[in-house]
């Protein structure tokens, strides 16, 4: 009879009905385990079984540990194999044993695998679009989490939970997270995002809200060979009467580098930015059925107004 872990893995694929083996085949997962130095014994909760069980747990309507362990037991009993204990402790500990480097590699590789399956004519103007966004999450109340991710200062010590800030950039085409950054809640979302800019590839398009629409962000994105399409920062005034006009509410202007270096940047990194930057400022009107029309101004380093028209930019934001 096959080992319990092999039985459970097959049961998982059949239960979900999803092509996980095509996206992340076992051979590739085994290679990643070796590359990340992950060692394990051939027990019930191997890293592969634990990983796919976590996928099952997330996708299932009942996301409890108890329900996941129940599914594992049923899968083994269905083929006459001895079921594991109904105690959730073993599965819980197995999840904690999964190394972070493995999960980080899986995020990137699964996103790339999904994008390889997308038809060639689907990307926006033939280019990959990466969307930046951030949020905060409440974590389990352990001493290690409290030390690494302190609770909010407004909470009484001992009465709150650790809070982490997360920033991700994901594929606009597939919705898959491509890269992520986790830090204490007090860390600036902008600072975290600028670390993720290093993961942009030449030719990528970076999208984000108005908190990112600054000179520094556009320059850093351009340093990676990518282009930014960002909502203009509210503090920057736009006068469409000036600059090179491409149409109504669409012009090209020259931005000048700020004189003050941001606190989070080194002087060397700031000096490496260009003294000026040519950008387009484009007024868009986003219309969606069932929603109020939205007017906004985007700033972009896509200077070719024929290749990347205002209409195409509107489609990008109305995706």
Q: Could you report the per-residue pLDDT of 94-128, keeping only the tens digit for each? A: 888 888 888 888 888 888 888 888 887 788 898 99
Query: In angstroms, what CA-CA distances link 82 with 2, 13, 25, 284, 303?
Result: 12, 20, 27, 62, 65
| Cα gap 208→189, rounded to integer Å | 12
Is residue 257 within 8 A of residue 272, CB to CB? The reply is no
Instruction: Tell me which DSSP letter residue 198 carries.
Output: G
DSSP-assigned letters across all residues of 77-104: HTTTPPP--S-SHHHHHHHHHS-HHHHH
At residue 19's C-alpha, the angle toward residues 101 and 51, to 5°, is 30
Across the range 73-90, mean pLDDT stands at 76
Q: Percentage of the chain with pLDDT > 90?
A: 37
Given the structure tokens 């149409």, which residue do they identify?
A: 247
| Cα gap 97→14, rounded to integer Å | 25
- pLDDT the model gives residue 261: 92
- pLDDT the model gives residue 61: 85
Q: Could you report the per-residue pLDDT of 217-276, keeping only the tens digit for each? A: 999 999 999 999 999 888 888 999 999 999 999 999 999 999 999 888 899 999 999 999
Q: Could you report the per-residue pLDDT of 194-207, keeping only the tens digit for each? A: 999 999 999 999 99
- pLDDT the model gives residue 10: 61
Q: How confident is the model at residue 1 (pLDDT cuts 50, 70, 90)?
A: very low
* Report for 23-27, 77-81, 309-313: range of highest mean pLDDT: 309-313
Q: Could you report the per-residue pLDDT of 31-62, keeping only the tens digit for each? A: 877 777 777 666 677 787 788 788 888 878 88
Across the range 182-192, mean pLDDT stands at 90
| Cα gap 84→260, rounded to integer Å | 62
Round the average pLDDT of the chain to a whole number and report it.
84
| Cα gap 288→292, rounded to integer Å | 7
Q: Is the dihedral of CA 16, 167, 102, 105 positive or negative?
A: positive
pLDDT of residue 297 exceeding 60, the answer is yes
Residue 180 or residue 15, greater confidence: 180
Given the structure tokens 């469409």, which residue do they identify?
A: 240
């Amino acid at each position: 009879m096959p080992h319990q872990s092999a039985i459970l893995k097959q049961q998982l694929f059949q239960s979900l009905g999803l092509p996980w083996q095509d996206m992340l085949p076992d051979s590739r997962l085994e290679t990643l385990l070796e590359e990340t130095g992950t060692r394990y014994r051939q027990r019930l909760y191997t890293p592969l079984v634990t990983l796919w069980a976590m996928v099952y747990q997330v996708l299932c309507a009942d996301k409890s540990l108890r329900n996941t362990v129940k599914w594992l037991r049923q899968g083994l009993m269905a083929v006459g194999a001895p079921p594991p204990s109904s105690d959730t402790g073993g599965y819980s500990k197995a999840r904690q044993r999964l190394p972070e480097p493995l999960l980080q590699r899986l995020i990137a590789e699964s996103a790339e695998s999904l994008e390889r399956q997308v038809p060639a004519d689907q990307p926006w103007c033939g280019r990959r679009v990466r969307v930046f966004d951030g949020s905060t999450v409440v974590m389990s109340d352990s001493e290690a989490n409290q030390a690494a991710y302190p609770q909010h200062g407004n909470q009484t010590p001992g009465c709150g939970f650790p809070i982490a800030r997360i920033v991700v950039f994901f594929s606009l085409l597939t919705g898959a997270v491509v890269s992520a950054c986790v830090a204490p809640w007090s860390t600036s979302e902008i600072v975290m995002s600028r670390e993720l800019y290093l993961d942009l590839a030449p030719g990528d398009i970076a999208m984000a809200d108005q908190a990112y629409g600054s000179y520094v962000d556009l320059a850093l994105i351009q340093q990676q060979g990518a282009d930014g399409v960002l909502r203009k920062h509210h503090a920057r005034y736009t006068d469409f009467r000036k600059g090179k006009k491409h149409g109504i509410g669409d012009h090209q202007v020259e931005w000048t580098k700020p004189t003050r270096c941001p606190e989070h940047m080194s002087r060397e990194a700031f000096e490496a930015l260009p003294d000026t930057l040519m950008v387009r400022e484009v007024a868009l009107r986003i219309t969606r059925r069932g929603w109020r029309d939205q007017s906004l101004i985007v700033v972009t380093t896509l200077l070719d107004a024929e290749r990347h028209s205002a209409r195409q930019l509107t489609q990008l934001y109305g995706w």
